Amino acid sequence: MKKAILKTQDLAIGYKHGRNNDTVVQSHIDLSLNSGEICCMLGPNGSGKSTLIRTLAGFQQSLNGKVILGEKSISHFSAGELAKKISVVLTEQMEPGIMRVFDMVAYGRSPYTGFLGKLNHEDKKAIVEALDKTGISALQTRLFAELSDGEKQKVMIAKSLAQQTQIIILDEPAAFLDFPSKIEIMHLLRKTAWDDNKTVLLSTHDLNLALQFADKLWLMGKGSPMRSGLPEDLILAGHLAKLFDRDKTRFDLNTGNFEYETTHIGNVNVTGQEIEMQWLRRAFARKGYTSNKGDKALAEIHFKDHNYQIKIAGQTYGYETIAETLKKMES
């Protein structure tokens, strides 16, 4: 059963510089996060993603409105209480010194341990479990400083899991990672949300990743109200397209990608259902040859017997690679 965990009420975020001199980044934010869901926040640079994360995590004060956690506003929680409700994974580069992976994950137990930070049986169990879930048990005696970026990110996620909070907030957890690591991290976060009924909020610049893994999207534009909803609903309503609206960039509803507008040269007729034909279409589209049925085609292309056959001005040529086919077209 999903229930609302975190809500914002008429929240305004930004920076205080002094009396009557606030920089408002976003205002009138009314959003909510449920248990068991992973929410991705998308928006251009400078739209206030990090500011919102800092405000939700309690690092900075809101300019107006409230963040409500459970029943009460987060400003009524002490630092110690909040540490048991919300955990964060941040982008900042850390140099903690000579620290082993186990010690880094053990940080997650700080809110629960006594004044010297001694770990009891339960703490150790939580750490081992977190190491196990993130798949880094084998790394636990390694030095944190010697790990790769992807491994470090997993360690900090394990720290968050060991913190045993209902909400996990991550600031661009997939930045700086190679592609397989990105997928791995997102899968891990979704699994955490779904299996353990937690609430995961993360900011990202990776649209594909967000569309693939998010239960909910938060769209944050400059000077426009924030939108929240199922990724597919937001796409069909055109909100995603508006978010990154620039002169030459447009959102392709078919592929779910932002693409740079290329000059249209002409029409080609690409037929066939093989996988090769889809990639052939992409290659031609990149060069400005699109396949719109109806218009007069400059050429007709098939894939047959491991051969790309292109028919230009009545003549048919056969090639083994897309590169050669494209070259013929352009000549």
69 Cβ neighbours under 8 A, 6+ residues apart = 5, 6, 77, 82, 85, 86, 167
Per CB under 8 A, 269 contacts other proteins: no
Binds other proteins (CB under 8 A): choice among 84, 142, 311, 328: 84
- What gap in Å lies between CA 272 and CA 275, rounded to an integer? 9
Binds other proteins (CB under 8 A): choice among 90, 183, 265, 322: 90
Closer CB to other proteins, residue 85 or residue 302? 85
Binds other proteins (CB under 8 A): choice among 128, 143, 235, 285: 143
Using alpha carbons only, what angle is made at residue 213 by residues 281 and 273, rounded to the nearest 5 degrees?
25
Binds other proteins (CB under 8 A): choice among 144, 213, 218, 284: 144
Per CB under 8 A, 102 contacts other proteins: no
Per CB under 8 A, 88 contacts other proteins: yes
Per CB under 8 A, 147 contacts other proteins: no
Using alpha carbons only, what angle is made at residue 256 by residues 252 and 259, rounded to the nearest 5 degrees?
45
- Over the window 161 to 200, marking each residue x when it contacts other proteins by CB under 8 A and - when it does not, the resulting string is --x-------------------------------------
Tokens found for residue 237:
């309503």
Give the CA distances from residue 282 to residues 222, 266, 287, 326, in Å, rounded to whole numbers and listed in that order.
32, 14, 9, 11
Q: Which of 192, 239, 227 is nearest to 37 (CA)?
A: 192
Q: Give the nearest distance from C-beta 119 to other proteins in angstroms.
A: 10
Query: Among 16-24, 94-102, 210-218, 285-293, which window interacts with other proteins (CB under 8 A)?
Result: 94-102
Residues binding other proteins: number (CB under 8 A): 37
How far out from the chain centre does Cα 12 lie? 23
Q: Give the nearest distance from C-beta 146 to other proteins in angstroms.
A: 6
Binds other proteins (CB under 8 A): choice among 2, 28, 73, 94: 94
Query: Among 18-26, 51-59, 293-301, 322-330, which window interacts with other proteins (CB under 8 A)?
Result: 51-59
Closer CB to other proteins, residue 72 or residue 304? 72
Closer CB to other proteins, residue 90 or residue 128? 90
DSSP letters of 85-141? TEEEE--S-----S-BHHHHHHGGGTTTS-TT----HHHHHHHHHHHHHTT-GGGTT
Residue with tokens 């900075």: 60
- Over the window 54 to 83, marking each residue x when it contacts other proteins by CB under 8 A and - when it does not, the resulting string is x--xxx------------------xxxxxx
Q: Give the nearest distance from C-beta 201 to other proteins in angstroms.
A: 14
Closer CB to other proteins, residue 51 or residue 228? 51
* CB-CB contact of 290 with 284 (8 Å): yes
Angle at which helices 179-195 and 149-162 cross, to 10°: 10
Using alpha carbons only, what angle is made at residue 210 by residues 186 and 220, rounded to the nearest 5 degrees?
130
Q: Which of 324, 299, 325, 302 is nearest to 312 (CA)?
A: 299
Question: Which residues contact other proteins by CB under 8 A?
Answer: 54, 57-59, 78-84, 86-88, 90, 92, 94-99, 103, 107-108, 110-111, 113, 115-118, 143-146, 163
